[in-house]
């Protein structure tokens, strides 16, 4: 609690500093810096139910990593750009969540070879070209506090450990915040979180090209990880290609489609099973996405739909004998009441294809069951611009899982408040 008080005091101190001192911080020599400090306050959601007086089970709907909750987080990000010439820039951004380790979120070079042609290349740890929300996470362009399920919700899949059978996968329905051995006997021997369809919390490493036409924009990238598991180091010698094409027929309307495919499982797992089965299979994640945005006057409406398909090796019976799909999407609306106040809402859904277990799920063994528990979320909230650089947000969020699940709650209501200061 003392830590949270200190963090809150730090944020107020920053907010009290004259905004003019922060606006457009230019260090000269083509160097500019910026940043954001965000403190989010919400209730704990990780106490084992036996430890809680009310006996309520935890639900982990908003977990982004082990012990990281999107509705209860202190985040600091610092970004810098060095632009020695008009057609070349080097950008870096580091982030820290809950004052844990500092992570280089972005670190890349940006080049525009021809001055009058809007064709740019970026190389390094780069923003994803797939989808839309991923590039506005962590910016002031977020009306709500929660992160859309497709970008945040931890499924029970891991790239470095896999279940031996459909029963193993079904055992972990709804428990993606921490999965692993002994239910996942193959690969890494520690319990870790699963992956979301596409993570908003980490960017991939590689190269990309982007064409910014007036009507049509396009981007392609080759990177070392996948949507769900972006990486700096490559753990499987595979590359992901990804691309996005967007169409802007009129100002304010953007329609876009994205696609990606890349090696998902680690080299250790792939090699083991290819040798065992005398095969040369690729265990990939393939993503397909649609997104749209329409804004006019005081309204902004955004929506995204993402389908992810993973291939896993068939090991023991009952086998995971078909690709695993997860499909999620959201619709988000924002209405500005005045220069200072706005209201917003988002509806989310995440579904999974069915597989056939033998002993799982425990309450209905031997039935075709979604390989992870489908999740729904409704989040309503609003915000106030306390100053140009300080925004307060508050949300109410309701989540529910479609059972059967073990050990955790199927429904949960959360409230959360946030102060966000950017410069």
Partner 1 sequence: MALRSESAANGSIRGRVEVRAERTANTRPDTSGLGMAASREGTDRRRSVVYLESAPQSAFETREQPRARMDQRNEQFVPHLLAITAGTWVDFPNDDRTYHSVFSLSKFNSFDLGRYAAGRTKSIRFQSPGIVRVFCDIHPNMSAFILVFAHRYFAVTDEDGRYRLENVPPGTYTVTVWNETVSGRGDLPARIVTIGDNGAEVDADFRIQ
Residues engaged in binding partner 1 (CB under 8 A): 18, 20, 23-24, 26, 28, 30, 32-34, 79-81, 83, 86-87, 89, 91-93, 105-106, 110, 112, 118, 120, 122, 127, 129, 135-136, 138-140, 208, 210, 212, 214, 219, 250-252, 295-298, 300, 336, 338-340, 385, 387-388, 422
Residue number with CB closer to partner 1 (84 or 323): 84
CA distance 208 to 46: 39
Residue number with CB closer to partner 1 (60 or 423): 423
Please identify which residue in the block is written with the tokens 């909230």.
381
For residue 111, the cross-strand partners are 88, 121
Residue number with CB closer to partner 1 (83 or 191): 83
At its nearest, how many Å lie between partner 1 and the CB of residue 80?
6
At its nearest, how many Å lie between partner 1 and the CB of residue 195?
21
At its nearest, how many Å lie between partner 1 and the CB of residue 260?
15
Residue number with CB closer to partner 1 (212 or 404): 212
At its nearest, how many Å lie between partner 1 and the CB of residue 99?
21
CA distance 212 to 218: 7
For 4, 162, 334, 344, 391, the CA distances from 421, given in Å and listed in that order, are 16, 41, 20, 19, 6
Residue number with CB closer to partner 1 (49 or 388): 388
Residue number with CB closer to partner 1 (252 or 366): 252
At its nearest, how many Å lie between partner 1 and the CB of residue 32?
5
Long-range CB contacts (< 8 A, 24+ apart) of 271-275?
272/186, 273/313, 273/315
Residue number with CB closer to partner 1 (296 or 358): 296
CA distance 265 to 188: 11
At its nearest, how many Å lie between partner 1 and the CB of residue 163?
35
Nearest to 264 by CA among 232, 230, 305, 307: 230
**Maximum C-alpha span of the chain:** 67
CA distance 214 to 150: 29
Record the tokens describing residue 200, joined without a space: 């908003």
Residue number with CB closer to partner 1 (23 or 276): 23
Record the tokens describing residue 84, joined without a space: 């020695």
Spell out the residues 6+ positions from residue 406 whose beta carbon is closer than 8 angstroms to its own. 171, 173, 174, 175, 361, 362
At its nearest, how many Å lie between partner 1 and the CB of residue 293?
11
Residue number with CB closer to partner 1 (141 or 237): 141
Answer yes or no: are the C-beta atoms of 321 and 314 closer than 8 Å.
Answer: yes
At its nearest, how many Å lie between partner 1 and the CB of residue 39?
20
Count of residues for the chain?
A: 423
The H or E element spanning position 318 is: none
At its nearest, how many Å lie between partner 1 and the CB of residue 198?
15
For residue 95, the cross-strand partners are 77, 103
Peptide bond into 157 cis (omega under 30): no
Strands 240-247 and 253-263: antiparallel
At its nearest, how many Å lie between partner 1 and the CB of residue 114?
11
Residue number with CB closer to partner 1 (58 or 143): 143
For residue 255, the cross-strand partners are 247, 292
Nearest to 207 by CA among 263, 103, 127, 264: 127
């Amino acid at each position: 609690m003392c830590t949270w008080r200190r963090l809150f005091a730090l944020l107020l101190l920053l907010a009290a500093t004259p905004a003019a001192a922060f606006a457009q911080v230019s260090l000269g020599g083509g160097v500019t810096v910026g940043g954001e400090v965000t403190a989010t306050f919400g209730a704990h959601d990780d106490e084992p139910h036996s430890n809680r007086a009310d006996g309520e089970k935890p639900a982990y709907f908003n977990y982004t990593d082990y012990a990281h909750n999107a509705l209860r987080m202190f985040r600091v990000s610092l970004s810098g750009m060095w632009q020695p010439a008009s057609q070349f820039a080097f950008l870096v951004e580091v982030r820290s969540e809950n004052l844990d380790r500092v992570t280089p979120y972005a670190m890349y070079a940006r080049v525009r070879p021809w001055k009058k042609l809007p064709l740019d290349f970026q190389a390094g740890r780069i923003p994803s070209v797939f989808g839309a929300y991923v590039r506005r996470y962590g910016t002031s362009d977020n009306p709500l506090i929660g992160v859309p399920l497709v970008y945040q919700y931890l499924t029970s899949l891991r790239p470095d450990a896999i279940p031996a059978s459909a029963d193993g996968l079904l055992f972990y329905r709804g428990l993606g915040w921490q999965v692993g051995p002994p239910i996942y006997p193959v690969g890494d021997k520690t319990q870790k979180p699963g992956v979301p369809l596409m993570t908003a919390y980490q960017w991939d490493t590689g190269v990309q090209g982007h064409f910014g036409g007036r009507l049509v924009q396009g981007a392609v990238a080759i990177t070392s990880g996948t949507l769900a598991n972006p990486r700096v180091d490559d753990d499987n010698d595979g590359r992901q290609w990804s691309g996005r094409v967007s169409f802007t027929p009129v100002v304010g309307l953007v329609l876009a489609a994205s696609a990606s495919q890349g090696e998902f499982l680690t080299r250790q797992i792939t090699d083991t099973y290819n040798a065992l089965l005398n095969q040369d299979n690729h265990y990939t994640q393939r993503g397909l996405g649609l997104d749209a945005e329409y804004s006019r006057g005081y309204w902004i409406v955004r929506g995204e739909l993402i389908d992810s398909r993973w291939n896993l090796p068939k090991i023991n019976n009952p086998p995971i004998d078909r690709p695993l799909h997860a499909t999620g999407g959201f619709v988000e609306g924002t209405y500005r009441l005045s220069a200072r106040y706005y209201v917003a809402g988002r509806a989310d859904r995440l579904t999974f294809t069915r597989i056939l277990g033998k002993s799982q799920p425990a309450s209905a063994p031997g039935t075709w069951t979604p390989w992870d528990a489908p999740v729904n979320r409704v989040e309503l909230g609003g915000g106030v611009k306390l100053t140009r650089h300080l925004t307060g947000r508050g949300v109410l969020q309701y989540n529910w899982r479609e059972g059967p699940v073990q050990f955790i709650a199927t429904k949960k209501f959360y409230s959360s408040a946030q102060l966000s200061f950017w410069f």
